[in-house]
Amino acid sequence: MIRRLLAPLLLAGALAGCAQAAPGTPPAPQPTTPVHVVRVGFANGQVSGDTGTVPVALGEQVRLEVTSDTAEEAHLHGYDEEVEVPAGGTATIDFTADVPGEFEFELHHSGAPLATLRVS
């Protein structure tokens, strides 16, 4: 009688153990939201990369990557996001484009415009 009661429990336990990943196996990747990356650079007084007007979809995740040959502060107007950019380094701003309109992305010390984001 006890064997009849234990057999289904043992079988269920064995099957549950089979469903688990082997030790050291990485978990299955989770779906991620795509990120719109805008890359700009500032060197020798010149701006390069994704300059001009950059279209961005409303609600999209955005990453602004800026490099500079001098220490600078990059600022995205309208979203009031800013980041210090080390000389010869890269800095990023991550945000959700949840406000429609056109927004200037610029360097504060030099005043150089990097790009304009058109969120719609």
Provide the 3-class DSSP secondary structure of residue 60: coil
Provide the 3-class DSSP secondary structure of residue 9: helix
Domain presence at residue 13 = no
Dump pLDDT digits (tens) for 100-120: 999 999 999 899 999 999 999
Q: What is the pTM of this model?
A: 0.72
Dump pLDDT digits (tens) for 63-97: 999 999 999 999 999 999 999 999 999 999 999 99
Which phi and psi (to 5°) does residue 12 adopt?
Answer: -65, -40
Domain residues for the domain of 90 are 35-119
Phi-psi region of 119 (alpha: psi -120 to 50; beta: other; left: phi over 0): beta
- Amino acid found at 73: E
Domain total in the chain: 1
- Amino acid found at 95: F
Domain presence at residue 39 = yes
Domain presence at residue 62 = yes
Tokens 């800026």 correspond to: 66
- 90 forms beta bridges with 67
CATH code (residue 42):
2.60.40.420
